[in-house]
Chain A
Amino acid sequence: MRSDGEMEIALESPRARAAPAGGAAPPPDPSDAELLARVGARDEAAFELLYRRYVRPVFGLALRRLADRSLAEDAVQEVFAAIWRSASTYRPERGEAGGWLYVVARNAIVDRRRRDRHPADVVLPELVSPEAGPAERAEQSYDAWRVHRALEELHPREREVIELAYWSSMSQSEVAAYLGLPLGTVKTRTRAALAHLAAALAGEAA
């Protein structure tokens, strides 16, 4: 399906593009837009794949918005229920699938937050838009969504070195020692992971 060719380029998986270590190249992963179209037609396998790609960004968004792990877990369920219900309304020509999913997720989470407050207190135009707060916060929230989504596209080995380098206080030498790999391998892998991330985030081919 190439009617949304631009979207497919934007969301092409770096993993799918990467040359495999051996054997034939695996079939390219379906784009998010393709998955949404299939989910709209009640394709459960597509829903499962979409869930795998987005459960972590959705949970991260819910945690930031709700600041409560239990509520966030419930919100994730509601987000994916909303996606299941409304996937057929997605129109690729109106924007990329990732952005559409972000809006659906954000709305479902905001609904959840409203329900947990006093209803009369939320009938306020100021609170109507969850992005009415500082622009910086909104932008950061969306950036985190995109980055966490892009991380899901990385090969597990690449994701591992990124997580160790960025969020485990390890130098490249320490990562190499921890993984039992040559330092050169870790450096090469980390740079490749960053390149794949950059490609996924920029919506361009690596």
Chain B
Amino acid sequence: MSREPSFDELVGEAQGAERERLQRAHELLLRAGPPPELPPRLASAAPLAPFRRRRRRALTRGAALLLAAALAVAVAFAAGYAVGNERSPGSAAKPAAILTLRGTRLAPHARATLELWPARAGNWPMTLSVVGLPKLPAHAAYEVYLVRDGRPWAPCGTFVTAGSGPLTVTLNAPYRLRRGDSWVVTRPQAGREPGGTVLRPASA
């Protein structure tokens, strides 16, 4: 255990405002503790290589880049339109939480990620990215439910799919969330197909 250095020994006869400034730095040093030793992998260089590779690859695929850009704009527009002004995450915004969902026996190949964005005025915007959910009959829709105490507690929106391909939709949970809250996706009974939960938290 390091002994605490003597401030008086370190600064000698510093007086007045200068002494106060040095004292503040001294206290912050004690409070902060030593900086960590860097492991070799971090000490060597900035992790630029992956970025360079990504950029080169992008440059050699001009058409793919244009397509990706168009897709990104479309997705951003759709998400922004759906969410309105409730949030503006930008590229620096981070989800408040991320929930991984897996398919039940009703949709064993389905999986999804539910991103919960910071709340605004009591609304928790959510982005559901799902794959593997089949198209439902006309007039039927998947429903997203907030689960509390083990039971579907409140609806958070509906969506349909065009097939089993990837899909991202924006939803909202206008509720006061609690510890232990979670979400599931259900489908209604339609024709001979039974209704029930098709996606539930992966850790459930």
Q: A119-B100, A122-B97, A147-B28 are in contact. Are A59 and B38 (CB under 8 A)?
A: yes
B24 near A69 (CB under 8 angstroms)?
no
Partner of B97, one of A42, A81, A127: A127
- B87: chain A residues at CB < 8 Å are none
Q: When each residue 98-127 of chain A gets 1 if its CB lies under 8 Å from chain B and 0 otherwise, what string results? A: 000000100110110011001111111111
| Chain A, range 36-54, C-beta contacts under 8 Å to B | 42, 44, 47-48, 50-52
Nearest chain A CB to B99's CB is how many angstroms away?
5
Partner of B39, one of A73, A147, A195: A73
Q: Measured between alpha carbons, how far is A4 from B55 in the docked complex, in Å?
A: 30
Q: Measured between alpha carbons, how far is A125 from B98 in the docked complex, in Å?
A: 12
B10 near A47 (CB under 8 angstroms)?
no
Q: A56-B36, A147-B32 are in contact. Are A169 and B2 (CB under 8 A)?
A: yes
> Is B34 interfacial (CB 8 A cutoff)?
yes
Nearest chain B CB to A159's CB is how many angstroms away?
9
| Chain B, range 81-121, C-beta contacts under 8 Å to A | 90-92, 94-100, 116, 118-119
A143 near B48 (CB under 8 angstroms)?
no
A120 near B99 (CB under 8 angstroms)?
yes
> Is A148 interfacial (CB 8 A cutoff)?
yes
- B21: chain A residues at CB < 8 Å are 195, 198-199, 202
A111 near B94 (CB under 8 angstroms)?
yes
A55 near B2 (CB under 8 angstroms)?
no
Q: Measured between alpha carbons, how far is A76 from B39 in the docked complex, in Å?
A: 11
> Is A67 interfacial (CB 8 A cutoff)?
no
B47 near A81 (CB under 8 angstroms)?
yes
> Is B162 interfacial (CB 8 A cutoff)?
no
B35 near A191 (CB under 8 angstroms)?
no
- A76: chain B residues at CB < 8 Å are 42
Nearest chain A CB to B198's CB is how many angstroms away?
16
Q: Measured between alpha carbons, how far is A43 from B130 in the docked complex, in Å?
A: 36
A119 near B99 (CB under 8 angstroms)?
yes
Nearest chain A CB to B90's CB is how many angstroms away?
5
> Is B194 interfacial (CB 8 A cutoff)?
no
Nearest chain A CB to B35's CB is how many angstroms away?
4
Nearest chain B CB to A24's CB is how many angstroms away?
29
Nearest chain A CB to B161's CB is how many angstroms away?
22
A143 near B32 (CB under 8 angstroms)?
yes
- B55: chain A residues at CB < 8 Å are 42
Q: A191-B22, A201-B24 are in contact. Are A124 and B179 (CB under 8 A)?
A: yes
- B11: chain A residues at CB < 8 Å are 191, 194
Nearest chain B CB to A12's CB is how many angstroms away?
16
Known interface pairs A86-B90, A146-B28, A191-B11; 13 further A-B residue pairs with C-beta atoms within 8 A, sorted by A's residue number: A48-B45, A84-B51, A86-B91, A86-B92, A111-B95, A120-B204, A123-B183, A125-B176, A125-B177, A163-B34, A167-B34, A195-B22, A199-B21
| A binding-site residues for B, Cβ under 8 Å | 42, 44, 47-48, 50-52, 55-57, 59-60, 63, 69, 73, 76-77, 80-82, 84-86, 88-90, 104, 107-108, 110-111, 114-115, 118-128, 140, 143-144, 146-148, 151, 162-163, 165-169, 171-172, 187, 190-191, 194-195, 197-199, 201-202
| B binding-site residues for A, Cβ under 8 Å | 1-3, 5-6, 9-12, 14, 18, 21-22, 24-26, 28-36, 38-39, 41-43, 45-48, 50-52, 55, 90-92, 94-100, 116, 118-119, 176-183, 201-204
